[in-house]
Structure 1
Amino acid sequence: MMRNLPPLPSLRAFLVACHSQSYTEAAQTLCVTHGAISRHIQVIEKWFGVTLFNKQGLRRVPTPYALTLAQELSDVFDKLNDIGFRYGNGGKNDILNISVPTTLCLKWLIPRMEDFYLQYPNANIQIASANSERFHLISHDDLIIRPQPQQQEYSSVVFLEDKHCLIASEKLLRRYSVTKFEDVFDCPVIDTLTRPGHWQQWLMATHLNTQRSFLRHYRFDHFHISLQAIIEGLGLGIGPVSILSNEINNGTLKVLFPDIQIAPISYYALTPLGVQKNKTHLDFEQWLTQQKS
């Protein structure tokens, strides 16, 4: 059933006028007259029943209400554009857009993608990395890989269980001896601002003094940066052993005291409830659940 909507050309003119904050610039962008923009805005104002632009000198500028409305309408037009692209050309443009935390993407997913494409050579996937594992409710992705969020607007498939352990590179272990828990205080350590409390948890798990200072304490904003510092031997770190299984298996990193495990975490493939899962989507979910850490 068609809903009662304002004319799409008028909505487009309104959005461009809000973005440029000028009728004149909007007219130039859309290759129409200044009067045409004015008429389109009048249509939208009449439909919503509010004044959307105020006169400021010789210009018309959008009200705060208009800017808020324009932002929501822009999201709708972005969704329409995405639908048009994905279903255009008989569906041959279909792309599965995936958002993945950077470290998981670099160290776990990418090394396994060759296997996925061998099984599904015609799959069309676009991966975007996310610098934080924090969950953002507003997303245009079809599938979002994160730890389980609190929002209920997603269907979820768990595919990876992980835990964090003390890790070090051979470069560091050639310079520092770490054979007992207390030895960590005689070493430089690396911390990550987006993963607060991991060192505190590890010290508590080993019943060490949480107030005692380390030899040096380096801090980085994101874990993929901290990880590179750990690999280069700058300090001891705490990292997810399943995600880093390749680096551990090939000897780049060593797990110290593997029985001390903290911060268990599960990763989920999350799909917004409004997204219709196509074959590629379902194939990728199934493939994820078949992967071993």
Structure 2
Amino acid sequence: MRDLPSLNALRAFEATARLGSVNRAAEELHVTHGAISRQLRVLEEALGQPLFARQGRGIVLTSVGEQLQDRVRNAFDQLRETWADLQRSRDDAPFVLGCAGSLLARWVIPRLERLERDLPMLRLHLSPEEDPLAPRHAEPDAALAVAAPPWPAGWQVHVLASEQIGPVISSRYGGLARLLERGSSALSDEALLFTHSRLQAWPAWAQANGIAIESLHYGQGFAHLFYLLEAAVAGLGVAIAPVQLVQDDIDAGRLLAPWGFRQTDASWILATPRRRSDSRVDALAAWMRDELSGDIR
């Protein structure tokens, strides 16, 4: 397009403005000082105004230079992001999925063989993250999480399934017969197993089932849901968990859910950074929806 300056001239200007030095811009772009100076002169002659002014031994942007820098910087940032997105979305590029350790261990990994068979183009790379939606330097291509709205800023959210939680207990637990005989009200006499990361789980379930919250008693606490469920399987007490994370154990007879599950205000979601576009996300979201719907018997 003849109404725009050359890309080389704009690159020379952007680097010089950002680094505040013609020499440093030349080093970054692997060209000579003279080459940068010539490109800057091309822009200034086309505009009929200076872009830089001398200040001591250095240079500073003029008001016109500042205006151009804002636009050029944004344009180059968008180009870099678009180029990175296109590279990331190639069929042969790994797809990085961020996921909390408990979801990874108890839901993703047991289905990994089936996922790789059904979506062979995905080339999934798993990235364990306790909070995969938290801001950080390297964002995943997508994050699997259980969360409640409002959704975090900067993410596009694909809702996969409603979360349902309920008490689970091993058939090896010594007090099982008494609990089954007395019903859910007997849970108020139990030292309930819980996770420190989700202290509201037991009170929310109890309230939904007509059990006084103040009657609950807590026993051993665990840092992660994975440890909590392993403790339940080992027969150490009554735990509370999402149905999707314990259905395999229920089907295998390792755990019982005598009092059922209740829906919470949270959902299983697959979230992607808003500025990224990847056709593989839709396929993964559809696959996960099907799997999650099959987890509820």
TM norm. shorter chain > 0.5: yes
1:189 aligns to 2:190 (yes or no): no
* Aligned-partner residue type, residue 168 of structure 2: I
Q: Is the 8 A contact 1:158 1:266 kept in 2?
A: yes
Is the CA contact 1:203–1:210 (under 8 Å) kept in the aligned structure 2?
yes
Q: Partner of 1:162: helix, strand, or coil?
A: strand
Query: 1:214 deviation in Å?
Result: 1.9
Q: SS state of the match for residue 174, structure 1? A: coil
Runs of at least 5 residues in structure 1 that lack an aligned partner in the other structure: 19-26, 33-69
Shift of 1:114: 1.2
Q: Distance in 1 between matches of 2:4 and 2:154?
A: 27
What amino acid is the match of 2:262? Q
* Rounded Cα–Cα distance in structure 1 between residues aligned with 2:196 and 2:178: 21
Partner of 1:100: 99
Superposed CA RMSD:
5.4
**2:201 maps to amino acid:** H
Q: Say whether residues 1:245 and 2:241 are aligned partners.
A: no
Aligned partner of 1:44 in structure 2 is none
Offset, 1:230: 3.9
* Other-structure match for 2:130: 131
> CA separation of 1:168/1:282 partners in 2, compared to 1, >3 Å: closer, same or farther?
same
Supply the distance in 1 between the matched residues of 2:212 and 2:82 (Cα, whole angstroms). 53
CA distance in 1, matches of 2:227, 2:177: 21
For 1:268, give the aligned amino acid: I
TM-score normalised over the length of structure 2: 0.60
CA apart distance, 1:215: 6.0
Q: Deviations over 1:96-138 (max 9, x none)?
A: 2222333222212221221122234343222223313766598
Q: 8 Å contact 1:182–1:208 — kept in the other structure?
A: no
Identity among equivalent pairs (%): 13
Q: Separation in 1 of the partners of 2:3 and 2:290?
A: 44
TM-score by length of 1: 0.61
- For the residue of structure 2 that corresponds to 1:169, the secondary structure is coil
Equivalent in the alignment of 1:263: 264
CA distance in 2, matches of 1:265, 1:215: 23
Offset of residue 240 of structure 1: 0.1
Instruction: Give unpaired runs (5+ residues) of structure 2.
Output: 19-25, 32-72
Sort the Cα spacing of 1:219 and 1:143 in 2 relative to 1 into closer, same or farther, 3 A.
Answer: closer
Separation in structure 2 between the aligned mates of residue 149 and residue 4 of structure 1, nearest angstrom = 45
Q: Could you report, residue by residue, the CA deviation over 1:151-207 in whole angstroms, capped at 9, with x for unpaired residues?
A: 586554433333000122344x125655142344233432332x2311212232343
The aligned counterpart of 1:118 is 117
Q: What's the counterpart of residue 283 of structure 1?
A: 283
Name whichever structure is richer in helix by fraction.
2
Could you tell me how far apart the structure 2 residues matched to 1:177 and 1:120 are?
45
Distance 1:226 1:119 in 2: 28
Quote the residue 2:57 is aligned against: none
| Total equivalences in the alignment | 275
Q: Equivalents in 2 of 1:98, 1:3: separation in Å? A: 43
**Contact 1:145–1:267 (CA under 8 A) maintained in structure 2:** yes
Report the counterpart of residue 166 of structure 1 in structure 2: 167
The equivalent residue for 2:46 is none
Contact 1:169 1:230 in 2 (8 A): no
Give the whole-Å Cα distance in 2 for the aligned partners of 1:215 and 1:31: 65
Superposed, 1:42-191 pairs within 5 Å as 80-81=83-84, 83-84=86-87, 93-132=92-131, 136=135, 140-146=139-145, 147=147, 149-151=149-151, 155-171=156-172, 173-174=173-174, 178-179=178-179, 180-191=184-195
1:191 corresponds to which letter in structure 2? T
The 1-side partners of 2:218 and 2:143 are apart by 39
